[in-house]
């Protein structure tokens, strides 16, 4: 959880699990300056112009995840605490980049958390999802697919697993901070 005297917390989990809500609360509770990094936002800022127009790709998710380590190091050097929201794994990558990222963050003494709840809970939350960064709610099919990727490709032993089924963002935040 510490890199020198700075706190680094990474939040993994499916879309709609509450990563953004928890990240916002963590950023407000941590002392001093805090940078929030979002793989979703980094991915959305990366597009490639092809003959048929602009295209987003899962390759950008992997690239954004790989860019997190140097960005985190730089923000720590600048005196920031870091809260990272990590998108679900991609099918083509099969969780390889997520395993690497979790291990690299742990080497930096980050607390690497997997927010988890049954699919039914995630689907219900997704119906109300606004998304601070404009994500909005996802289709049921896409929510189920992303949930499945987390279940298939994220090994729970690599994370501090937090059951969010009966906990709101405040309780989860207190749990992560050990309060």
Cα–Cα dist 37/51, whole Å: 31
Tens digits of residue pLDDT in 139-167 = 889 889 999 999 999 999 999 999 999 89
The answer to whether residue 71 sits within a structural domain is yes
Average pLDDT of 9-38?
A: 94
Q: What is the pLDDT of residue 1?
A: 46
Number of domains in the chain: 1
User: In a 10 Å sphere around its CB, with 0-12 CB exposed, 13-18 middle and 19+ buried, how is residue 50 labelled?
Assistant: exposed
Higher pLDDT, 52 or 124: 124
The model's confidence at residue 127, banded by pLDDT at 50, 70 and 90, is confident
- Structure tokens given for 25: 């609360």
pTM of the model: 0.89
Q: Is the pLDDT of residue 48 over 90?
A: no
Q: Is residue 51 part of a domain?
A: yes
Residue 176 located in a structural domain: no
Residue 11 lies in a domain: yes
In a domain, 89, yes or no: yes
Structure tokens at 149: 């990727």
pLDDT at 139: 83
Which pLDDT belongs to residue 43?
81
Q: Provide mean pLDDT across the span 99-117.
A: 97
- Domain membership of residue 177 (yes or no) is no
Residue 52 lies in a domain: yes
Per residue in 1-12, pLDDT (tens digit) is: 444 589 999 999
- The larger pLDDT score, comparing residue 76 to residue 59, is at 76
99 touches 158 (CB < 8 A): yes
**Calpha distance 64→45 (Å, rounded):** 10
Range 63-80 average pLDDT? 95
- Confidence (pLDDT) at 131: 57
CATH number for 78? 3.40.50.300
Could you tell me if residue 31 is inside a domain? yes
Can you give the residue range of the structural domain that contains 146? 2-170
What's residue 59's pLDDT?
82
Query: What's the mean per-residue pLDDT of the chain?
Result: 88
């Amino acid at each position: 959880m510490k890199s020198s005297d700075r706190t680094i917390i990474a939040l993994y989990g499916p879309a709609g699990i509450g990563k953004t809500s928890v990240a916002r609360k963590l950023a407000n509770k941590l002392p001093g300056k805090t940078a929030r990094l979002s793989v979703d936002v980094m991915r959305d800022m990366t597009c490639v112009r092809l003959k048929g127009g602009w295209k987003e790709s899962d390759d950008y998710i992997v690239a954004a995840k790989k860019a997190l380590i140097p960005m985190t190091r730089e923000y720590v050097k600048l005196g920031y605490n870091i809260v990272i929201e990590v998108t679900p794994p991609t099918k083509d990558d099969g969780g390889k980049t997520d395993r690497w990222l979790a291990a690299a963050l742990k080497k930096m003494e980050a607390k690497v958390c997997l927010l988890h709840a049954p699919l039914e809970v995630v689907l219900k939350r997704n119906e109300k999802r606004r998304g601070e960064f404009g994500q909005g709610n996802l289709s049921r099919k896409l929510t189920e697919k992303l949930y499945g990727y987390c279940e298939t490709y994220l090994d729970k032993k690599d994370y501090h697993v937090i059951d969010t089924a009966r906990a709101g963002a405040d309780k989860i935040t207190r749990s992560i901070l050990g309060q």
